[in-house]
């Protein structure tokens, strides 16, 4: 081997040590949420079921790599944090999702546009993620404050004796409780019904209250919970 070839080989080895080579990972998900409690706990509940369902057939159906981060930060800063996580990751994620609510943030629409511009998918809710949870039980197109959605969930959890009989943001079993009576399929059906009227060319997401696109992410994950 010539000297030039040796130097070239060493440079390549240094690059590998310094930067590493990211490998694409099929069926992989990075889910970054605005909230630290309900949202990540909900998706971690799905993740657990996916692992239990297809863990024994990993050679046939690959388990989605689902990394979920509850950042507790708002909107456009969440997009910046997602970019940081993507750049730091050891793999190339096939599916990158950001999950956030409108609440009282003024840059809601801009954040959605920024995320999509970077190639991320957005699961947004207006006003809040609690609206998505509510759709697991009932349909509604009423524009309510997020506190009112939480109050309604309290009544539902008491009515159906879910969890401790009340809705709690730190409920580790929030996904299982919401899905107790085929809630996920119900929520997807209700969300599609509500979002069928949404025309983004005429209305901004911030103007569509209530609304949610969380069902798009849940549908993708739900594919791994089907019979294999």
- Span 49-69, pLDDT tens digits: 887 776 533 223 334 666 666
Domain range enclosing 171: 16-225
Residue 6, pLDDT > 60, answer: no
Residue 10 covered by a domain: no
* Residue (of 130, 148, 122, 141) closest to 193 by Cα position: 141
Residue 1 covered by a domain: no
User: What average pLDDT does the segment 151-180 reach?
Assistant: 95
| Res 71: pLDDT | 62
Domain count, the chain: 1
Residue 102 covered by a domain: yes
* Residue (of 131, 124, 170, 127) closest to 151 by Cα position: 131
| Res 48: pLDDT | 83
| Res 189: pLDDT | 98
Residue 170 covered by a domain: yes
Residue 2 covered by a domain: no
State the average pLDDT for the chain: 83
Residue 19, pLDDT > 50, answer: no
Instruction: Burial-class residue 71 by CB neighbours within 10 Å (0-12, 13-18, 19+).
Output: buried
What is the number of other CB atoms lying within 10 angstroms of the CB of residue 87?
8
Residue 9 covered by a domain: no
């Amino acid at each position: 081997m010539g000297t030039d070839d040796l130097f070239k080989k060493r440079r390549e080895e240094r690059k590998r040590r310094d930067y590493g080579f990211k490998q694409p990972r099929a069926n992989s998900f990075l889910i970054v949420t605005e909230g630290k409690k309900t949202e990540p706990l909900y998706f971690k509940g799905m993740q657990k079921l996916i692992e239990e369902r297809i863990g024994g057939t990993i050679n046939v159906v690959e388990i989605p790599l689902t990394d979920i981060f509850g950042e507790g930060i708002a909107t456009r800063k969440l997009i910046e944090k997602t970019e940081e996580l993507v750049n730091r990751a050891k793999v190339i994620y096939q599916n990158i999702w950001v999950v956030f609510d409108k609440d009282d943030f003024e840059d809601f629409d801009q954040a959605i546009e920024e995320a999509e511009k970077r190639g991320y998918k957005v699961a947004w809710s207006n006003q809040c993620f609690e609206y998505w949870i509510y759709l697991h039980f009932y349909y509604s197109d009423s524009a309510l404050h997020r506190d009112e959605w939480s109050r309604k969930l309290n009544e539902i959890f008491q009515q159906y004796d879910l969890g401790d009989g009340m809705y709690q943001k730190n409920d580790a079993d929030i996904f299982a409780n919401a899905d107790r009576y085929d809630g996920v399929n119900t929520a997807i059906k209700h969300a599609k019904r509500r979002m069928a009227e949404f025309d983004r060319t005429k209305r901004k997401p911030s103007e569509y209250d209530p609304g949610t696109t969380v069902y798009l992410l849940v549908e993708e994950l739900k594919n791994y919970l089907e019979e294999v």
